Structures are given as C-alpha cells and as structure tokens.
Amino acid sequence: MSKMVTIFGGSGFVGRYITRRMANEGWRVRVAVRRPNEAMFVRPYGVVGQVEPILCNVRDDASVAAAMQGADVVVNCVGVLNELGKNAFDAVQADGAERIARLAAEQGISRMVHISAIGADAESDSHYSRTKAHGEAGVLNHMPDAIILRPSVIFGTEDQFFNRFAAMTRMGPFLPLVGAETKFQPVYVDDVAKAAVQGVLGHAGPGVYELGGPEVKTFRALMQQMLDVIYRRRVIIGMPFFVARVMAGVLDILKFVSFQLFPNHILTRDQLKNLRRDNVVSDGAKGFADLGIESATLESVLPDYLWKFRPSGQYDDIQNSANNLRT
C-alpha cells in the first residue's frame, strides 16, 4: 500500500503545490482544510481517490488527530498574514503548529515538515514574527527531527505580492510603497514545494532551512521589475514610515470598531514592523543548495502570470511581434 501524507493547509498558496508534487510521487494525500468544499480542485492532482480534502480545524485536538490518523508524514502549511476572528497569530501559528507536532508524536508519526518564515524571532516586536518563532519551538519540542522551512516572500501564479501591486497599477499613475528600500529575496512557490517534498521523502536532514531565490532586491527594485513585465510606467513613491504608521493605525482602528467587518487587508501596524527589516537569507543558514535545488529567477516566472495586467493583456506580445516585423 502506498504511503500517506497529511498536509494541513494543503489547498493554500504553498500547500497546493506540495499536494500536487506528493501526488506525482505516488503518495496518498490527505488535504486538511477548514472548508473542504472549496478545496475540491486538488482532487484531480492525482488519480481517483488519491487526493482527498477533509475537514480540519488546527485549533481543535480531535480534529487534528483525526486528520493525521494513519499518516506516515505530516506537513504544516497553515499560517495567517492578517488576524481575523478566532484565527489569531497565537491560535494558528503558535498553538496550531505545536498541536500538530504534539499529536503527530503521540500517533508515532516519525517525520514532519513545517513551513515557517524568514524573520521568525521570539524577541521580535512583531506579533507575526514572534508567533512564527513560538510555532517552530513548539514543533521542535515534540518533533526534534522536524524539517523547518523559512521562505522569504513567495511569488507564483496565485501570490498576493506581485498580483496585488500589479492590480494597483490600474488605479493611477502612482505606486506608493512602505519600506521601499527594504530588501527581499523572493522565492518561487514551486521551489518551496520541492524543498518540502525533500523533507517528506526523507531526503533532507532535520533542522531549519532558509529559502530565498537567487536575487536580493529592494522593494522598489522589485516593483520596477514588475512594471517592466507588465509594460506600464508608474511613479514609485516611497511612503515615509511615520505617515504609514498613522495610516496603519487608522486602518486597525476601523477594523476594531467595525467588529472586523472591515478586515484591513491594506496595512496593519504589525506588518509595518516587519517592513522595516530586510527579509533575506541569513549568512551561514542552510538553504536550497543543501537540498540540491536550483531556485528559479523572477525573470523566468513573472511573465507567465503577470501578463494579464498589461494594457492589452495577452495581446501585447502579439502587437510587439507585429511591430518588430514592420521594422
């Protein structure tokens, strides 16, 4: 009988790529999510019955234990960028991660892969970063041989980074940025999935791996590269942090007084703290090279999914080709 992996958050941005690759490896894949009816798109990743979405809430012991029943390996991809309702940073990224590891250990599961983030730091002033670190500690407490992956900002077809800012270019001639000079090391989502698969298959040793792409660029430079890909000219404006702090404060207050009917997906005070720090691989950290993976460049991937933000969409390349023929 083929082996089985339970992937918590297996229909999310990163999780769906891991799910697809594990199905291709011939494993049975259990995709543990809050809304299985919205995750049915993962089923065709494998043959009939190979990939199955199931209901799971990482805040509940019984739910998590049932989701991993009979699994050989577990992968945790669950995380939140913005707290909403009961899905707070502590509940999901700290307690949820610890719960998965604890119950996996109790069930005798020998291997776990945990997706964290570069910048995880128990001493950080950012609640997001602190809970990422607490989640890692909780995982290692119960599964000391776990593989922890810390990616930088992740890009890919469904990302909320380049897609978000590319959409903003349709609104006017200016593109405002907070932390324009902060450095990032964007990593392709499928490369993160490859690293996770290495961990599931037992081809990666235990420990922490920091995952960054081959290019380190400032936020401003990344946005300029995006503008070049979508054939648009916009004035990039670096917003001063003191202005952004006022803006984030007002937006957070609106979220509070509206009882979260306004979820504030624009800018929070906690996100602002992280935008003050570079998001790059630490010197001496284990990474893609230790996993035998050559990470993809932005140049090789961005045009594949950002073309829809060009002035004429997919027709821009056709028009450019025609113009080249005329000349």
Of 136, 131, 157, 154, residue with least CA distance to 146: 136
CA distance between the termini of the chain? 62
Of 133, 123, 306, 323, residue with least CA distance to 230: 306
Q: Give the pLDDT score at 317.
A: 67
Place 323 in a pLDDT band, splitting at 50, 70 and 90. low
User: What's the pLDDT tens digit per position in 20-48?
Assistant: 999 999 999 999 999 999 999 999 999 99
Q: Give the pLDDT score at 326.
A: 60
**Arithmetic mean of pLDDT over the chain:** 95
Place 325 in a pLDDT band, splitting at 50, 70 and 90. low
Q: Quick check: 314 pLDDT over 80?
A: no
Q: Measure the CA–CA gap between 265 and 82, rounded to whole angstroms.
A: 7
Question: Is there a contact between 211 and 192 (Cβ–Cβ < 8 Å)?
Answer: yes
Which two three-digit tokens encode residue 7?
A: 């992937």
Segment 109-132 shows an average pLDDT of 97
Q: Give the pLDDT score at 312.
A: 83
Domains in the chain, start-ordered, CATH in brackets? 4-156+185-214+279-295 (3.40.50.720)
Place 320 in a pLDDT band, splitting at 50, 70 and 90. low
Q: Measure the CA–CA gap between 19 and 42, rounded to whole angstroms.
A: 8
Which two three-digit tokens encode residue 183?
A: 């450095």
Which two three-digit tokens encode residue 260?
A: 């979260």
Q: Give the pLDDT score at 253.
A: 97
Residue type, 286: K
